A and B are shown apart, each in its own frame.
Chain A
Amino acid sequence: SQQGEEDPQALSIQEGENATMNCSYKTSINNLQWYRQNSGRGLVHLILIRSNEREKHSGRLRVTLDTSKKSSSLLITASRAADTASYFCATGSSYKLIFGSGTRLLVRP
């Protein structure tokens, strides 16, 4: 079964707006990662946050992690049309990643 659930399942915003996606997971983790998948492509790693970290930034991305609630959020600021993609959270442990169900983000020009 999937480790995590993401919400929303789909999100449509205007270029320049911020996009927030949430991820919940079930078991203890070593780290939590976010990946992007453009249509018809493989996944690309965006950011990794360790279980002892609470917040991490990378460019226009901001990730938070709340291990007490077993949840994480990904914020994309000042979105661009090129950010249109599916975004997946994944929990990392013992030589595997377990992926969430994904959020489809559409950024309208």
Chain B
Amino acid sequence: DTAVSQTPKYLVTQMGNDKSIKCEQNLGHDTMYWYKQDSKKFLKIMFSYNNKELIINETVPNRFSPKSPDKAHLNLHINSLELGDSAVYFCASSLGLAEGGEQFFGPGTRLTVL
């Protein structure tokens, strides 16, 4: 059974378009995250949500809008896509310990903006 799933796995789109990536976890975790991994493999936190509430927004442009309809889902909507948005986006979840515990990652969504 998949613990953290993301759809789609690949996304190719034109500059200026709006797209969404969906994430679901079946682990019963309270906290979910979005990370961005660039072409040099640097992995950076974008958002943290705990019990559907935004906890962390790491100075992400407001073109990126996460939405958590319930504790098991955290979707990422991106408006007006730019070339620099091309990256692999990972969703993750954890028990939500404030100390920053083990996280479980989804398989990633490779976004290519042309």
Contact = CB atoms under 8 A, between A and B. Distances in A.
Interface of A: 2, 30-31, 33, 35, 37, 40-45, 48, 86, 88, 91-99, 101-102
Contacts of B98: 94-95
Interface residues of B, number: 27
B56 A33 contact: no
B48 A96 contact: yes
Contacts of B50: 95
Contacts of B102: 33, 45, 48
B45 A86 contact: no
Contacts of A99: 42-44
Nearest to A101: B42
A92 B99 contact: yes
A44 B105 contact: yes
A94 B100 CA distance: 6
Contacts, number: 68
Interface string B71-91: 000000000000000000010
A43 B100 contact: no
Contacts of A88: 43
Name the residue among A2, A86, A96, A102 with the largest chain B CB count within 10 angstroms: A96
B64 interface: no
27 contacts: A2-B42, A30-B99, A30-B100, A31-B100, A35-B105, A37-B41, A40-B108, A42-B90, A42-B105, A43-B90, A43-B92, A43-B103, A45-B102, A48-B101, A91-B100, A92-B100, A92-B101, A94-B98, A95-B31, A95-B48, A95-B50, A96-B45, A96-B100, A99-B44, A101-B42, A102-B42, A102-B43
